[in-house]
Amino acid sequence: MIYLGLLLFFVLEYVRPGNFIPGVNALRLNSLVPFAVVFGSFVKKSRVSNQALIREPNTKILIFWLFLIFMSVVTADVQMRALECFETAFAYTLMYVAIVKLVTDVRRLTGVFLALLVVHLIVVGLSPDMLVDPSSRSHYLAAGSFLGDGNDFALSVNIAIPLCLFLLLETKRVLFRLAYLAVLLFLVMCVIATQSRGGTIALACVGLYYWLKSDKKVLTGLVALAVVALILICAPPSYYERMNTITHNAEDGSAQGRIMAWRAAVRMAADHPLLGVGAAHFPVKFGLEYLPKGEIGEMTAHSIYFLVLGELGFPGLGVLLFFFASNLIANKRVAARSSARDPVRRAMDKRLLNAMSAALIAYVSGGLFLSALYYPHMYVLAGLLTASRLLVTERDLAAEVAVPVPSVDAVSTRGVQRPGRRPASALVWDRRQGRRVSGLQR
């Protein structure tokens, strides 16, 4: 039941049904469901103990991240604005905790993947103009959340694409494979329909990552060429015109605005290197202090990197970069330790870790052009990355042959000791403590 509440959280947060279903907002489900899920994840016995959760690197990163945002509340000019940002980040961090404690097996992990695919399909279904009228970018998606803009939606879809690919490669049923393939191609076309330059770059980065990790580069390259051919056939002329501005952006107002905002972010960090100008304060400070002479108005940073640099200073940028690098390195390290296991299981775990790394790369590359710093992506990815590595490590260690140890039943009445062996599935080697413990209670 608690796990179903976690899946419902994605529907409520990504789709925001209260914006088009009367009475839903009055129930305050967006607050009650996450609270119930988090509370239940602590009450319900989990294979991931609270001590193990605290020891996870992503937990420590998010705690320090919250600390930086909280400090910006203290120093910000408009404290209520920064406080709202802190409350949002704190709520998403609690959902990270729920993901880690509840998603403890492959079935639940694939259930979360499916939920993320479904919510994006629902958002597209609520905004058909994005597909039926691709010549215009003026359509805003019906979801009244962080997915309301086409660029933001393209980023979120790119994060979901590797998860769909994992489900496609893992299922054994032909009908399911066809369904996942159709969803995968549809999501790719949704990225194209948004005409998002950042979304296209993120999609290319995900494809390049899979090609580099593939053991069958020729086959993977042919599949990539087929996807590119599909894009070339289905993409409207307006898509090509917009993509041309990636390299010929001297006259593009959007690109010039980004450059101006990025320069302002650097100046903010130079003036406030330790704490920045405050969470959610970039638009305010830009309009008051860092706008070029003769210009008026507010502007966001159009980049998670420059946004965090301006709002949380160099420590904030360092935390963000460390989050990206540490998770990619950790995935590679866990995959490398699996060389001695069953080939079928090893292949599955490798595909899982590659999918999570690809989803993170989509956020890393797509975030370069979007102010998606306070969206749930970072927290959801942190939870899924942590849960995936714990799952792979648990399966790996459970498959190892347990070291023979004496047991009560192993000693006969004559004092002759017979070798006793505990089941390998009940033993996990805790490398930090130098002893074997049960499950994930590390």
Lowest mean pLDDT among 313-322, 325-334, 343-352: 343-352
pLDDT at residue 327 is higher than 80: yes
- CA pair distance 243, 376, nearest whole angstrom: 28
pLDDT, tens digit, for every residue of 32-89? 888 999 888 888 888 888 899 999 999 999 999 999 999 988 888 888 999 999 999 9
Would 413 be classed as within a structural domain?
Answer: no
Residue in the block written with tokens 């070029």: 292
- For 341, the domain range is 49-399
pLDDT, tens digit, for every residue of 114-134? 999 999 999 988 887 777 766
Question: By C-alpha distance, which of 353, 317, 361, 323 is closest to 335?
Answer: 353
- Tell me what the mean pLDDT of segment 199-205 comes to: 92
Query: Which pLDDT score is estimated for 183?
Result: 94
Query: Which pLDDT score is estimated for 436?
Result: 40
Question: By C-alpha distance, which of 279, 292, 270, 304 is closest to 381?
Answer: 304
Would 309 be classed as within a structural domain?
Answer: yes
pLDDT at residue 191 is higher than 50: yes
Would 37 be classed as within a structural domain?
Answer: no
pLDDT at residue 136 is higher than 80: no
pLDDT band with cut points at 50, 70 and 90 for residue 405: very low
- Tell me what the mean pLDDT of segment 308-325 comes to: 96
Would 218 be classed as within a structural domain?
Answer: yes
pLDDT, tens digit, for every residue of 69-78? 999 888 888 8
Please give the structure tokens belonging to residue 131: 């597909």
**Residue 436's beta-bridge partner residues?**
429
Strand (E) or helix (H) holding 409: none
pLDDT at residue 412 is higher than 70: no
pLDDT, tens digit, for every residue of 382-400? 999 999 999 988 776 665 5
- Tell me what the mean pLDDT of segment 289-297 comes to: 69
pLDDT band with cut points at 50, 70 and 90 for residue 423: very low
Q: How many CB atoms lie within 10 A of CB 104?
A: 19
218 exposure class (CB count in 10 Å sphere: 0-12, 13-18, 19+): exposed
pLDDT at residue 293 is higher than 60: yes
pLDDT band with cut points at 50, 70 and 90 for residue 18: confident
Share of the chain above pLDDT 90, in %: 44
Question: By C-alpha distance, which of 150, 80, 84, 76 is closest to 120?
Answer: 150
Compare 439 and 326 and report the one with higher pLDDT.
Answer: 326
- Tell me what the mean pLDDT of segment 166-194 comes to: 91
Would 260 be classed as within a structural domain?
Answer: yes
Query: Which pLDDT score is estimated for 382?
Result: 97
- Show the DSSP H helices in 171-236 as ranges: 174-194, 197-213, 217-234
User: What is the overall mean pLDDT for the chain?
Assistant: 82
- Tell me what the mean pLDDT of segment 356-362 comes to: 96
Residue in the block written with tokens 């917009």: 242
Please give the structure tokens belonging to residue 174: 């032909």
Query: Which pLDDT score is estimated for 407?
Result: 44
215 exposure class (CB count in 10 Å sphere: 0-12, 13-18, 19+): exposed
Query: Which pLDDT score is estimated for 287?
Result: 80
- CA pair distance 7, 22, nearest whole angstrom: 22
Q: How many CB atoms lie within 10 A of CB 105?
A: 13
Would 61 be classed as within a structural domain?
Answer: yes
- Tell me what the mean pLDDT of segment 182-199 comes to: 89
If one counts the domains in the chain, the total is 1
Lowest mean pLDDT among 70-74, 193-197, 248-252, 272-276: 248-252
pLDDT band with cut points at 50, 70 and 90 for residue 27: confident
Please give the structure tokens belonging to residue 345: 């299981």
Question: By C-alpha distance, which of 312, 237, 248, 240 is closest to 274?
Answer: 312
Would 430 be classed as within a structural domain?
Answer: no
Would 41 be classed as within a structural domain?
Answer: no
Buried b (16+ CB within 10 A) or exposed e, 46-84: bebbeebbeebbbbebbeebeebbbbbbeebeeeebbbe
Contact criterion met (CB below 8 Å) for 186 and 146: no
Compare 327 and 431 and report the one with higher pLDDT.
Answer: 327
